[in-house]
Amino acid sequence: MVMSLDNIRGLVLALSSSAFIGSSFIFKKKGLKKAGATGVRAGSGGYSYLYEPLWWFGMITMIGGEIANFAAYAFAPAILVTPLGALSIIVSAVLAHFVLDEKLHIFGILGCILCVMGSTTIVLHAPKEKDIASVKQVWSLATEPGFIAYTCVVVFLVIFLIIQLAPRYGDTHMVVYIGICSLMGSLTVMSVKALGIGIKLTFEGKNQFIYAQTWLFAAVVVICCLLQLNYLNKALDIFNTAVVSPVYYVMFTTLTIFASMIMFKDWDSQNGTQIASELCGFVTILSGTFLLHKTKDMGSSVTTEPTRLAESELQNQCTLRPDFLQGS
């Protein structure tokens, strides 16, 4: 299957993004650990990590990856760009093995291979990006009843997680913090795509910043990103990096593809075989991330944070086994 030029551009940008974002988890985790040794940990509500150069280097690396990801959404559909985030899982898991001593076992390696295979399947069968003439056209898609209903459900769930569940279960159930990030992330991607299309059209000579809708999409991006950043830092500080990355990926990707199906109707131009192939690729990626998760459970007895492990044992908790996955 021959890919369009725009899809190829989106693919290259998405791959670059995965490399930057995957490595950023490692730098940020090292910065969080250093900050936690001398100040109040992020998981306890502290912000001492803001004084750590390593954390800021990780942030700069992540911003570079997000810029590449941002540009990728302007060229390719979300169903192509988003699943390629699996490659960032591989990068962070491999680097965590060597840099953070978070061991990657044989099943973790198999998980990485499955992620690559699934991503390749999705890339080969991804739909062509639709031609959009203006941001006002994107706004029309965003204000259809289906997407408005989805947005209301997401906002309600995020508020419920933040107010009701985060204070009680945030430190012991990773799905709480990751769920907040993933739900808001699906809205972020839709807004990023809209804003990216606006910038792309503006560079082509069709100024989209004269429309209020463009600035509204930009405001949603900023608000959602700040919220995601806060809760992702909490999750990274408390839980194992190579567990946070795949779980975040699974929840975020699933919700984003679902949101894109509702808003941009990505599958309308595809036949059943193409859709089935993409779903198989996505399931393959999910299988890979599950293996990565189980691998980290197998290696949890070898930890570089004995104090934290002792605390969790005294509280009769196991932070590496959130209820969501065992039985976002």
Residues in the chain: 328
Who wins on pLDDT, 39 or 211? 211
Please give the Cα distance from 30 to 28 (Å, whole number).
Answer: 5
Secondary structure (DSSP) of 247-293: HHHHHHHHHHHHHHHHHT-GGGG--HHHHHHHHHHHHHHHHHHHHHH
Instruction: Specify whether the CB–CB gap between 306 and 260 falls below 8 A.
Output: no
Phi, psi angle pair for 302, to nearest 5°: -105, 95
Average pLDDT over residues 92-120: 81
Q: Give yes or no for residue 292 having a pLDDT over 80.
A: no
Instruction: Specify whether the CB–CB gap between 143 and 132 falls below 8 A.
Output: no
Please give the Cα distance from 308 to 295 (Å, whole number).
Answer: 20
Q: What pLDDT band is residue 308 in, cutting at 50, 70 and 90?
A: very low
Task: Report the pLDDT value the prediction gives residue 242, as an integer from 0 to 100.
Answer: 62
* Residues 183-207 pLDDT 10s: 999 999 999 999 999 998 999 889 9
Average pLDDT over residues 277-294: 81
Task: Report the pLDDT value the prediction gives residue 313, as an integer from 0 to 100.
Answer: 38
Average pLDDT over residues 163-176: 90
* pTM greater than 0.75: no
Task: Report the pLDDT value the prediction gives residue 93, as an integer from 0 to 100.
Answer: 79
Q: Give yes or no for residue 295 having a pLDDT over 70.
A: no
Structure letter (DSSP) for residue 222: H
Task: Report the pLDDT value the prediction gives residue 294, as an integer from 0 to 100.
Answer: 66
CB count within 10 Å of CB 153 equals 11
Average pLDDT over residues 237-257: 79
Who wins on pLDDT, 31 or 152? 152
Average pLDDT over residues 84-113: 80
Average pLDDT over residues 304-312: 41
Task: Report the pLDDT value the prediction gives residue 2, as an integer from 0 to 100.
Answer: 63
Q: Give yes or no for residue 83 having a pLDDT over 70.
A: yes
* Residues 13-26 pLDDT 10s: 989 998 898 888 88
Q: What pLDDT band is residue 85 in, cutting at 50, 70 and 90?
A: confident
Task: Report the pLDDT value the prediction gives residue 76, as an integer from 0 to 100.
Answer: 86
Please give the Cα distance from 272 to 264 (Å, whole number).
Answer: 18
Q: Give yes or no for residue 314 having a pLDDT over 50.
A: no
Task: Report the pLDDT value the prediction gives residue 77, as an integer from 0 to 100.
Answer: 86
Among 42, 19, 22, 17, CA closest to 31: 42
Task: Report the pLDDT value the prediction gives residue 163, as an integer from 0 to 100.
Answer: 94
Question: What is the identity of the amino acid at 7?
Answer: N
Q: Give yes or no for residue 110 having a pLDDT over 70.
A: yes
Q: List the alpha helices (DSSP H) in the chain.
A: 5-38, 53-75, 78-81, 86-95, 106-125, 135-142, 145-160, 166-169, 174-203, 212-238, 241-263, 272-298, 306-314, 323-326
Query: What is the chain's mean pLDDT, rounded?
Result: 81
Q: What pLDDT band is residue 266 in, cutting at 50, 70 and 90?
A: confident
Lowest-confidence segment of 183-192, 193-202, 269-278, 292-301 by average pLDDT? 292-301
Q: What angle do CA 310, 314, 315 make, to 5 degrees?
A: 120
Tokens, residue 272: 């059943």
Residues above pLDDT 70, as percent of the chain: 84
Please give the Cα distance from 282 to 123 (Å, whole number).
Answer: 11
Task: Report the pLDDT value the prediction gives residue 198, as an integer from 0 to 100.
Answer: 92
Who wins on pLDDT, 322 or 46? 46
Who wins on pLDDT, 204 or 1? 204
